[in-house]
Amino acid sequence: MRCSSRWIFGILFWGMAVMLQAQDALPEKVLPDRNSGPVFSEQAMVRMMGLIDCEPSMPVVFRETRKNEIEDPEHTLDPFWNKLMRMEGPVRIVHIGDSHVRGHVLPYVVRKKLEEEFGSEAVVDEEVTYQSSGLAEETGERGIVYHMLGVNGATYGTFYTPERIHEIAALHPDLIIVSFGTNEAHAPRYVAAQHQQHMRTLLDALKESCPESAILLTTPPGAYKRQGRRGRVINTQTPQVVATEQNYARDHRMAIWDMYDIVGGKQRACLNWVAGNYYQKDRIHFTRQGYTVQGLLLHEALIKAYNNYVATQFTGSRN
């Protein structure tokens, strides 16, 4: 049955009259709300909490990538994030690894970005080149101290020597970033058990010599290998190396940044690096631009994890 417009208007008018009569009279002056604080905009909240702006670093030509995040379910990096947030003195990072670290481009990108965000006064501003030692000269001021200790051709097994462990410990790191795997994948025959044993030897020594240091593992970026005189094919041992490092991190409750799978994994990592023209001719090492991309990706993952930690100090919950 259809209702006339006059009848509908009458009902609406009557309903509004009843509502107005039922409402309490508004006070002449609104009383202050003593139970609520000020309402901040999203940008104001970001500034107040000390969060760092972080732009995505994944190249647009990369396909089938994953979220660029550090995996740390046991929150083993929390002591480092806390020192970074408080910044009561120099906060020291020691990045060890193979030729990808030895080239100084990847870690230097991370170093300069962190200095911009947390302070560069802790080190002498010196140009870093391939011929540089990679060690930062400290000033004693507050800020980021980022040391780079790479050795060409190094693996977990070859990097361990008492002298190197002593050198790392003498730098008093708050965070040790450990980046190996490319050379393990280029062994004539990869043996996961041997790789795992070498990881245990080096990492146990670091934990014993640097008990207050947090440790972050990283996986290799992916590479090709020779086939015949001139041909090159994707190194199919890399996924095995990455799986061993992932399993070790999980079994020993350690943090890991899985660059290999983040940039495409078995199906796309190497193809993505090729698409961006980021490899050198050997398709093992990378151009300066390629290492810069890797440094930006690592920096992005670090800042995401830091921001998440800082946010939990205000909200009490974790993502």
Annotate 171-227 with three-state secondary structure: CCCCEEEEECCHHHHCCCCCCHHHHHHHHHHHHHHHHHHCCCCEEEEECCCCCEEEE
Task: Please check the confidence at residue 19 and state whether its pLDDT lies above 70.
Answer: no
Residue 228, pLDDT > 70, answer yes
Does pLDDT of 138 surpass 70? yes
Residue 188 scores a pLDDT above 60: yes
Pick from 310, 295, 262, 294: nearest CA to 52: 310
- Model pLDDT, residue 66: 98
pLDDT computed for residue 28 by the predictor: 55
**With bands split at pLDDT 50, 70 and 90, how would you rate the model's confidence at 3?**
very low
Q: Are 117 and 171 in contact (CB under 8 A)?
A: no
Range with lowest mean pLDDT among 6-10, 179-183, 284-288: 6-10
132 near 138, Cβ under 8 Å? no
Rg (CA), the chain: 27
Q: Give the residue-averaged pLDDT of 160-169.
A: 97
Structure tokens at 19: 């509502």
Strands 214-218 and 143-150: unpaired
Range from 21-30, 45-54, 150-159, 201-210 carrying the lowest mean pLDDT: 21-30
Residue-wise pLDDT tens digits, 77-125: 999 999 999 999 999 999 999 999 999 999 999 999 999 999 999 999 9
Residue type, 140: G
Separation between Cα atoms, residue 33 and residue 28, nearest integer Å: 16
Distance CA 44, CA 259 (A): 33
Report whether pLDDT(10) > 80.
no
Could you tell me how many residues make up the chain? 319
pLDDT at 176 over 90: yes
* Helix, strand, or coil (residue 239): helix
Specify the pLDDT at position 44.
41
Name the more confident of 187 and 21. Answer: 187
pTM: predicted TM-score of the whole model, two decimal places: 0.85
Section 36-57 average pLDDT: 61
Report the relative pairing of strands 231-234 and 224-227 from DSSP bridges.
antiparallel
pLDDT at 38: 44
Provide the pLDDT confidence category of residue 40 given band limits of 50, 70 and 90: very low
Average pLDDT taken over every residue of the chain: 88
CA-angle at 104, arms to 230 and 67, nearest 5°: 80
Q: Which two tokens stand for residue 212?
A: 């207050």
More confident residue, 205 or 231: 205
Q: Can you name the residues that pair with 226 across neighbouring β-strands?
A: 232
pLDDT class of 6 with cuts at 50, 70, 90: very low
